[in-house]
Structure 1
């Protein structure tokens, strides 16, 4: 399928949600395009992350494309928070509906990408040593697509099965009557543990740092299915009592609310300060948010993300909830975080804390009894040996930069991206890096990306990129590169806005803290989605200010 002779207008690396929409736009623009995907099918993160309990933490009616009104109207989600199989089914539907597969090379992985300055094109090499030449390259490689696999001592000595939540097998994994260990208590583990606890003989949870999580309150979605309704209520976001037809009745307005928001999500915002209301009022608001469920909890008051004292009121509320939900006071204490809530990504769960009341679960605190090594029959800590049949690594990802670094990307003057970013990624608007012409990154470092509803952010980036390519075509330009000055200014701004935000107040993958040896910089843009979009629009309206075009 790949042509070695011709030069493509565009090569897209990845066929997840970013790659699929990029491909749709490229075909619409009648570009000579191909997408390269290492998996055997579309879906990106939802192709790989198929562990038990995997589902989205953004409500289904917002976690979907909005570029096609017909697509929005015809697709029917079944639950408030879609499961991994349903999201993957949706991705496949999009690929088939818009005939995108014919331009995707599956089971193909780009190993290197080198910019040829003399010929002004990129030369890519894949895992079968095929040479692919292209004028433009879009890195639709995802923010959470390279696994974090800590180098545990003697891991290969374990005779049982080892699985990573981020690369779960496609076949059924039989956990019934097995002694299972799971390492990590982040978002993936929080979804996985309640799902497998009723199947395993015993579950050992190896925890280093406890994580805040709030109940999802997931439920089946309600449809009128042709029944009449006199008055269509207007959705706020994360509504619990609306029919889907009510959400879709004025879908464009609902979507606009998300576009004008901080996190590219429509949700109920309380503009009060947590410190300017009575304790009784504060508790009532937190209780209401807790009962309604989901990430809107962190928007219970407007200053939770910026004022540490205000944040502590929310953190304390959740800590008290943990204490009330987990019967064993010692276990409850181990599960209770001591850092600001929202510093690490707020997880959304179904019966996570309640799972620790089951008789067949043990929580192992790795802070007081560190994991020393794997051995033939399981795991050894400084205190005990744990015999296990299966070990699950819920250890997360090398976020934002991991997959880009897996490709040997070389720009002008033999500059390697990995070397340039060795002290932290510098990317103008999260879209392009100086020294790497005609190369775009979707939801790259320096953009809101992982702090938002990803699909909305993806569509905004893809639209911006294709408007840029169209501008270049209309103005006879063949070369675009972020200027070093603009890149440095954006990086400085990105770091400055993160200083007072709760997101930068603890050790997390947002700053690369989960990867040994990785430079510690705040990678996503925390200044807000709508403000970021304004900046992008300003740049394009001023003839792509901050970029060098030739």
Structure 2
């Protein structure tokens, strides 16, 4: 292990440098420190939290249940913190992450208000040189990205003609001001209706004089059925810590519930409706797990899609508006969203729905949004247009591996994006990605997947240190085989029938690629554990004087 010191050129030396102080970076720091490694985390914001530091838009709330959307590696932390409701709001999640940072004394090894501009592998030293935005450089044996799949550095703002001449205020939900935005008496245009749009529209509509929702594609939204936790509920989930953690880490999506073993087509129409009604009334993502074939069988998927469309129809007073809000694609093949009064908001007199697939936005003027059919005057614009997901946060950094090959060059085409196990990529020794492309990532409960990756990376680095291994690098063949496996799972699923931000369809000009492993969180963790037990099968391990191909 190296010592935290400086070389002759005043370059700070660490065992590992980590980018990002969200869920990933914080746990990575703690885990490596526990094993005796020197670690430095660099964070763009002036506090911990990652996406939850930046996403402060009205209505921002987690859509995983609070007692599962948290760290489970520490029973003490799990039981010391008490959540206030089923689905916590952004401020509470940020308070939780600050609580963990204080509890584990993480801030002493995090440098805030700092961006990593570039990172390059130096073969002669078997180290990574990292350049920061303050012109300083640091060196680390291991370079670890905890930038997340969705990052403030990769917010997606469509290239609308005239945006630069808009005289009102405009904001992106993923980079929201830290002070309140006052919508009182304002005409507000919200462009986009994914997760942040569905959460913010009902809240903004209560305050604004007028809200215009510019919708390109309608979404399937399931009731959240949020409620406060009373003392008895808090006691119960804390008592079930061990059982909950066990289920989360062995489940398909990282949640503590058992997956159905039945096909939707085994039940009669009446029986299915009872199942869907019960799930609808209970609220939450469990609805998409009511049967085991909803994402692989078109007929099965149609049954739940029709059910949800009927619910949307029942909520909307105007049949024309209801029709525009009903998706035509397969249920849950775009990111499923939880809803609190979203559909009902379109019954308000001050809310207008504009279908921009039917009449695209042509221009933003000084005080309006002009579509192919009409011009809408607005004082404030809210871009709820998501992110350049999965690869965007990584490619915003100039990362160069062996021979000066940049990650951007290697991943120039969507089909060329390959990452062995979603944690490493050939040509980039000693670089690890937490929840990188081709891992379960956004198709799972993120804290569960983050814990799997952090623990695997931490154990790997400890193994390398104990066995005097200089570098570890994914083999090209193993990387290609893993990529084929991921693609096979994708094409066997109904995800392959729908364009979404999962495939990069939300970003103009982005090469299409589906970069999520669909085999399930539990099976994935079993696979990466097995690979580690075989001395990191699929990786090349290089000692000081020789090399091992496994």
* TM-score tier (shorter): over 0.9
Runs of at least 5 residues in structure 1 that lack an aligned partner in the other structure: 225-242
1:455 aligns with 2:447: yes
- Please point out which of 38, 46, 52 is paired with 1:40: 46
Partner SS state of residue 458, structure 1: helix
CA distance in 2, matches of 1:196, 1:376: 22
The aligned counterpart of 1:412 is 402
Whole-angstrom distance in 2 between the partners of 1:433 and 1:300: 36
Q: CA deviation at 1:268?
A: 5.1
Match of 1:516 in 2: 508
Question: 1:199-278 to 2 correspondence within 5 Å?
Answer: 199-224=207-232, 243-267=233-257, 269-278=259-268
Residue-by-residue CA offset, 1:348-368 (whole Å, 9 max, x unaligned): 010110100001000001011
2:314 counterpart SS class: helix
Q: CA RMSD, aligned part only?
A: 1.1
1:101 aligns with 2:110: no
CA contact (8 A) 2:252 2:259 kept: no
2:424 is matched with which residue?
Answer: 432
User: Where does residue 485 of structure 1 map in the other structure?
Assistant: 477
Tell me the TM-score normalised to structure 2 length.
0.95
CA distance in 1, matches of 2:456, 2:120: 24
The secondary structure found in structure 2 opposite 1:445 is coil
* 1:461, distance to aligned residue in structure 2 (A): 0.3
Task: Describe how 1:292-311 pairs up with structure 2 within 5 A.
Answer: 292-311=282-301
Return the match for 2:321 from 307, 328, 331: 331
Structure 1 CA distance for aligned equivalents of residues 493 and 169 of structure 2? 41
1:2 positional shift? 9.8
2:548 paired residue number = none
Distance 1:500 1:352 in 2: 32
Show the 5 A alignment for 1:19-38: 19-38=25-44
Aligned to 1:341: 331
1:235 alignment partner in structure 2: none
Q: Helix, strand or coil for the counterpart of 1:480? A: strand
Q: Give the aligned partner of residue 237 of structure 1.
A: none
Shift of 1:484: 0.5
Corresponding residue for 1:240? none
Distance 1:207 1:436 in 2: 41
Aligned residue number for residue 191 of structure 1: 199
Deviations 1:326-362 (A, max 9, x none): 0000000000100000100110010110100001000
Show the counterpart of 1:233: none
C-alpha distance 2-56 of structure 1, shift in aligned 2 (>3 A): farther
SS at match of 1:99: coil
Distance 2:258 2:348 in 1: 35
- Deviation at residue 33 of structure 1 after TM alignment: 1.2
Which residue in 2 is equivalent to 1:17? 23
Partner residue in 2 for 1:159: 167
Which residue, out of 464, 468, 477, partners 1:476? 468
Q: How does 1:128-167 map to 2 (within 5 A)?
A: 128-145=134-151, 146-167=154-175
Equivalent of 1:75, from 66, 78, 81? 81
Q: Over residues 262-306 of structure 1, what are the superposed CA-to-partner deviations in whole Å (9 max), with x where a residue is unaligned?
A: 101113533221111111111111111101001011112111111
User: Match of 1:535?
Assistant: 527
- Offset from partner CA, 1:168-206 (integer Å, 9 cap, x none): 100010001100000001111000111111100000000
Q: Deviation per CA, 1:239-275: give whole Å up to 9, x if none.
A: xxxx222222231112111111110111353322111
Secondary structure at the counterpart of residue 115 of structure 1: strand
Q: How many residues align?
A: 532
Q: Distance in 2 between matches of 1:83 and 1:250?
A: 23
Query: Which runs of structure 1 show a deviation greater than 4 angstroms over 4 or more consecutive aligned residues?
Result: none
For the residues of structure 1 that align with 2:240 and 2:85, how far apart are their CA atoms? Answer: 20
Query: Scaled by the length of structure 1, what TM-score is found?
Result: 0.95
Partner Cα separation in structure 1 for residue 203 and residue 295 of structure 2: 31
